[in-house]
Amino acid sequence: MQLRTDRLWLHPLRPQDIPEVHELHSYPETMKYNTLGIPENLAVTEQVFAPYFDGLLQAERMQYIWAIRTAKSSFVGTISLSKGVARFRKAELAYSLVPAHWGKGYATEALKRVIAFGFDTLGLHRLDAGVAVENVASFRVMEKAGMVREGRHRKILPIPSGWSDNYSYAILESDPRT
């Protein structure tokens, strides 16, 4: 399930992409607001993604993870869509980019494309995303992609600096797309 945007292509994550993902997860600035923590070694990153690769063998696809690349195939980061129980027709979105590619609008471009995929291809009704309240760049991305802040959960995220509040964002299939 490859997706394209003006400047990027998103391809399903493959086992051979894991070393690049491991490098992405090894930058302190990338993991500043992440609850996973910096992986100790490549094997830890492989374990994190093992359920995703196992899930590809299941009849119903619950999770989509894409590697984001530039037209010249430079690795930009990852973006994912994780479905919930079918009758709710909703999914959770998450993304992470290599610091060298920050500030170019790539996260917004990729997120808009995955939102369109969730509604137009998967027929979902609602897409959610959570973000640490201090992660301004990330919630700017959500807002630029048309997501709406719905609430705040207190001290729910165990990030490296301690317990962080979380903003919950969502977009409905009936909401305007930006």
Ligand X SMILES: CC(C)(COP(=O)(O)OP(=O)(O)OC[C@H]1O[C@@H](n2cnc3c(N)ncnc32)[C@H](O)[C@@H]1OP(=O)(O)O)[C@@H](O)C(=O)NCCC(=O)NCCS
Instruction: By CB under 6 A, name the binding residues for ligand X.
Output: 30, 33, 77, 95-97, 102-108, 131, 135-138, 140-141
177, 48 contact by CB (below 8 A): no
Question: C-beta of 21: minimal distance to ligand X in Å?
Answer: 12
Task: Give the SS3 label for residue 39.
Answer: coil
| Least distance to ligand X, CB of residue 140, Å | 3
Q: Which is nearer to ligand X, 8 or 124 (CB)?
A: 8
Give residues with Cβ within 8 angstroms of 95, minimum separation 6. 68, 77, 78, 79, 80, 107, 110, 111, 141
Q: Please, are residues 71 and 104 in contact by the beta-carbon 8 Å criterion?
A: no
Measured from the CB atom, is 56 or 136 closer to ligand X? 136
For ligand X, the closer CB: 28 or 123: 28
Closest distance to ligand X from the beta carbon of 149 (Å): 13
Burial of 28 (0-12, 13-18, 19+ CB in 10 A): exposed
Nearer to ligand X, 95 or 119 (CB): 95
Is residue 124 within 8 Å of 89, Cβ to Cβ?
yes
We find the least distance from the C-beta atom of residue 141 to ligand X, in angstroms, to be 5
